[in-house]
Amino acid sequence: MLPSEEEKRDPRVRRTRQMLVNAFTGLLDEKGFAALNVNDITTRAGVNRATFYAHFPDKYALLDHHIRESFRQTLESRVLNACHFSLDNLRVLVVTVCEFVGQIHAHNSSEEQFQTLAESQIREQVYGLVGHWLDQVDTLERCTISRERAATAASWAIYGLAHQWAHEKQKAPAEQFAAEILPLVAANLGKTINIG
C-alpha cells in the first residue's frame, strides 16, 4: 500500500514509515524474513500495530517496499537512471544486478519468499531502465521486435544470468562475468536497435 500524495508530504508520515523500514531492516538481518512478524517490527519501531497497517497491509508488502527501494537506490548510486544506452552502461547494469542478487543470496539463500519478491522487483526495475534507454535511441528500419519485447528479454536475461552467477560455488568477479555475458544480453537488444 502506497501513501497518498498528502501523506508523502507530511514529515510525520514519512518519519513513521522510515522507522518501520529501519526496524524491518534490522530484524531482517537478525532473524531472517520467515521468523519475523508484524509485532516484532512494531515493537522495534516503537509504534502500534494500527500504525503499521496504516502504512503496509502485511510484512510481505514491507519486504516488497524494502527490496524495491534498496535496488532503486543501488541503481541511482551508479547513476544508471540518468544515463543513456551504451554497451558500457549495459555492462555496469549487469554488474549492479549481479552484486545486488549476490548480496540477497548471501543473506537470504534459504528464504524462497524473499527470493521471489526480489526477482520480481529487480526484473521490473531493469525492464523499466532498459525500456527508458531504448526509448532514447532510434529503432532499426524494418524492425519487427518491439522495444517492450526487447526490454523484457534483456531484463529476464540479466536477472537470470545474475541469479546463476550468485549460485555458483566458485564465481568469477562480477566485472569479469559481466564482460563475458554482455554479448548475450546485448543480443536481446540488437534486433531492435543499432548496437555499435
**Mean pLDDT to the nearest integer, 43-50:** 95
Written as nine digits, the cell of 54 is: 496504516
Whether 3 has a pLDDT exceeding 70, the answer reads: no
Q: Which H or E element spans position 93?
A: helix 87-108
Smallest Cα–Cα separation from 156: which of 105, 111, 97, 109? 97
Whether 42 has a pLDDT exceeding 80, the answer reads: yes
Between CA 168 and CA 178 the distance in angstroms is 14
Of residues 99 and 194, which shows the higher confidence score? 99
Q: What is the dihedral of CA 113, 115, 117, 119, to 10 degrees?
A: -150
Q: Give pLDDT tens digits for 118-172.
A: 899 999 999 999 999 988 887 766 677 888 998 999 999 999 999 999 999 999 9
Question: Can you count the helices (H) and strands (E) in the chain?
Answer: 9, 0
Give the model's pLDDT for residue 187: 87
Q: Give pLDDT tens digits for 115-127.
A: 888 899 999 999 9
Helix, strand, or coil (residue 120): helix
Q: How far apart are the first and last CA of the chain?
A: 43
Smallest Cα–Cα separation from 90: which of 192, 193, 183? 183
For the chain, list the domains and their CATH numbers: 5-57 (1.10.10.60), 61-190 (1.10.357.10)
Q: Name the percent of the chain in helix, strand, coil, to the closest 5.
A: 75, 0, 25
Give the model's pLDDT for residue 126: 95
Q: Give pLDDT tens digits for 51-93.
A: 999 999 999 999 999 999 999 999 999 887 777 888 899 999 9
Whether 4 has a pLDDT exceeding 80, the answer reads: no
Whether 33 has a pLDDT exceeding 90, the answer reads: no
Give the model's pLDDT for residue 9: 67
Give the model's pLDDT for residue 134: 87
HEC assignment per residue over 145-187 = CCHHHHHHHHHHHHHHHHHHHHHCCCCCCHHHHHHHHHHHHHH
